[in-house]
Amino acid sequence: MAVTQATQTMEAVAVTPGQAQSARMVTMPRPAVAPGRLLMRVLEVGIDGTDTEINNAQYGEAPAGSDFLVIGHEGLSRVEAVGEGVRGFSAGDLVVATVRRPDGCANCQAGESDMCLTGRYTERGIRGAHGYMAQFYDEVPDFLVKIPPELRSFAVLLEPLSVVEKAVFQAWKIQERLVWQPKRAVILGAGTIGVLAAILLRLRGLEVHVYATTPEDDDRARLVGSLGAAYHDVNRHPLAGLAEELGQIDYILEATGVSSVAFQAIGAVGVDGVVCLVGISGGNRQIEVPGDQLNLRLVIGNRVVFGSVNANRRYFEMGVQHFEEGQRRWPGIFERLITRRVPFNDFRSALDRRPTDIKTLLTIGG
């Protein structure tokens, strides 16, 4: 067989799933521009707890036929080339790709792969599909969301924002069960998810209280404060006194993943209120909870507790709208979440999370 073109290669950060601290740079073939697909040049990738946990071998699954997994699921890219038959995209467009890829279940086929029934989905950079911590990737247009150029400096936050969009939208959807005029919200955790949630809930006009473990003179406390939200250090304001301290709480977003905190949230939410759990518990902790009291409160107060994971493209599109709205209301607010930018070759330093980090970015292309 005649070789007409030497295969082009690219660099990527990959792990061997199941093997702790295996993150390394690999050289692999650069994807070709196939009909119906687009080739993207990756600009930057956000790091989150999932990446660190995959590198700690807590989970992660290589694509079929590969013994490694390219990680990274929060990527901002530029369209490098548009395959034959693709409409609506041009070379140079900024895009963020969604993470989950559907299987054949009814929800996946309806564009709601975040609600997959079977669990047989794949997720780029996490489970069964390579991610975006590479110089290039290719994708079909259905999973690409276009980003207006003026959002370039922080649009990499769109994937975590999409998770928060879903957690908020679903709560409001659930609350269509009653006349709901929420006034007060509590957010547990002040990482990227917590701060983005504070932004969305302030945009909805709620009184917002963020509880986290960092001191009240910390940068993230100031960031929360500049939104007109209140920041509380749990060492000074224990969660056990949450309901007494604040009164009626209409919505609680639990983003710490600490199960004892999740149950405290369930115990603190007000009458007709709703608790959304988005924090992933990594351990196997057994805790004691006041079961009778919690059950009684849920029943007699019509309270709802629900979990929320991942996000489909609709929530990414909402995120683009809220980027624009948030930026108008608090110019520069989203950039303030990006506390560290690390060059591609220093990926190990990016994966090594520091207590002062909100969002760390790996800079890959220009």
Residues that bind Zn ion in the complex, under the rule CB under 5 A: 103, 105, 108, 116
Q: Is 337 left (phi over 0), alpha (psi -120 to 50) or beta?
A: alpha
What length does the chain have?
366
3 state DSSP class of 216? coil
Tell the residue number behind the tokens 């679903």, with chain if given: 170
User: Smallest gap, in angstroms, from Cβ of residue 311 to Zn ion?
Assistant: 15
User: Smallest gap, in angstroms, from Cβ of residue 309 to Zn ion?
Assistant: 13
User: Smallest gap, in angstroms, from Cβ of residue 116 to Zn ion?
Assistant: 3
User: Smallest gap, in angstroms, from Cβ of residue 291 to Zn ion?
Assistant: 33
In sequence order, what are the residues at sequence separation of 6 or more whose Cβ sits closer than 8 angstroms to the Cβ of residue 150?
Answer: 327
| CB nearer Zn ion, residue 113 or residue 264 | 113
| CB nearer Zn ion, residue 103 or residue 233 | 103
Closest CA to 157 of 348, 343, 272, 316: 316
In sequence order, what are the residues at sequence separation of 6 or more whose Cβ sits closer than 8 angstroms to the Cβ of residue 163?
Answer: 193, 278, 308, 309, 310, 311, 315
User: Smallest gap, in angstroms, from Cβ of residue 66 to Zn ion?
Assistant: 22
Query: For residues 71 and 49, what is the distance between their CA atoms, to the nearest angstrom?
Result: 12
Burial 95-122 (b: 16+ CB within 10 A, else e): bbbbbbbbbebebbeeebbbbbeeeebb
3 state DSSP class of 266? helix
Closest CA to 150 of 365, 315, 326, 344: 326
| CB nearer Zn ion, residue 51 or residue 123 | 123
| CB nearer Zn ion, residue 112 or residue 245 | 112
Closest CA to 270 of 200, 180, 167, 169: 180
Amino acid at 257: G
| CB nearer Zn ion, residue 111 or residue 148 | 111
| CB nearer Zn ion, residue 192 or residue 308 | 308
CA 257 to chain centre: 14
User: Smallest gap, in angstroms, from Cβ of residue 312 to Zn ion?
Assistant: 11
DSSP 303-328: -EEEE-----HHHHHHHHHHHHHHHH
| CB nearer Zn ion, residue 102 or residue 182 | 102
User: Smallest gap, in angstroms, from Cβ of residue 163 to Zn ion?
Assistant: 18
φ, ψ dihedrals at 47, nearest 5°: -105, 140
| CB nearer Zn ion, residue 115 or residue 351 | 115
User: Smallest gap, in angstroms, from Cβ of residue 122 to Zn ion?
Assistant: 10
| CB nearer Zn ion, residue 121 or residue 132 | 121
User: Smallest gap, in angstroms, from Cβ of residue 166 to Zn ion?
Assistant: 16
